[in-house]
A = this chain, B = another copy of it.
Amino acid sequence: MLIDGIPGDQVPLSDRGLQYGDGLFETLAVTDGQPGLWQRHMARLQAGEQVLGFPVSDKQRLREEAHALCAACERGVLKIILTRGSGGRGYRPPAVARPRRILSLHPWPDYPGIWYKQGIRLRICETRISCNQRLAGLKHLNRLEQILARNEWRDQSIAEGLMLDENGKVISGTQSNLFIVRGDALLTPDLSRAGVAGVVRELVLERARQFGIPARITALDSAALKRADALFITNSVMGLCPVAVLDDQRYAVDRVPAALRQSVQDAL
């Protein structure tokens, strides 16, 4: 683990990440010492810095630190946390913040191969995701809703839970983005009011365009899930994973475009 470039495993109590969740994070798949989709992760991090009013961090330095930490790692997960740094008691940020960067390397989760071949099982969570246009899309440190949602089930045969907003719109999984396949088109939830704009979600939308697969960002309710031919979820570590079952409904795993699956796998 590296804290501001120095090996360490503790942060000061005064850190605003701990005090208020005042920060951002990124989770990157590491292969042969290389953190994947680096530029995309950095673009999202920087978008978050702008919204939270952090000074823009030095991405080249971050890259050097990431490479140093991951050099000996064949397969793993790099987590980058960027907090607003230390600050006094009270919500008002210091006039000049000195963000703290925290890099940690974690074991690869080893998702079962069968998930990708036969698809995973999902459920719908009771915990709703709240709407805030300023924070929507960011991967910030305020994750209590996702934690409450993920704490709703212990059944290991369920890989992920979908979260709706307070108006019943489907937003995302607790730790993934959702795509619907309907006919030959893709649909994915509009994240302008809630959710995290995933880097693999962005990649899928780009590749779909390249492959001539119609893809649309739109409001989706649970009826749209019922009408779907197939579902898949995406995240930076899991990649693209087809869904076999959502609650009682089965989906056709082979309706997820194979070219898209292959393309995402190659990119990661």
Contact = CB atoms under 8 A, between A and B. Distances in A.
Interface residues of A, number: 60
Given A130-B132, A142-B142, A93 B147 contact: yes
A1 interface: yes
Interface stretch (A9-17, A182-190, A198-206, A256-264): A9-17
A132 B77 CA distance: 31
A132 B21 contact: no
A133 interface: yes
Contact of A144 (B11, B129, B140, B149): B140
Contacts of A128: 132-134
Interface string A16-56: 11111110010100000000000000000000000111000
A53 B104 contact: no
Contact of A81 (B19, B131, B151): B19
B127 A145 contact: no
Contact of A148 (B9, B15, B134, B146): B134
B92 A142 contact: no
A154 to B, nearest CB: 7
13 contacts: A8-B13, A9-B12, A9-B13, A10-B11, A20-B143, A22-B144, A22-B147, A52-B147, A91-B146, A91-B150, A130-B135, A141-B144, A142-B144
**5 pairs of A and B residues whose beta carbons are closest in the complex:** A21-B21, A130-B130, A142-B142, A20-B143, A10-B10
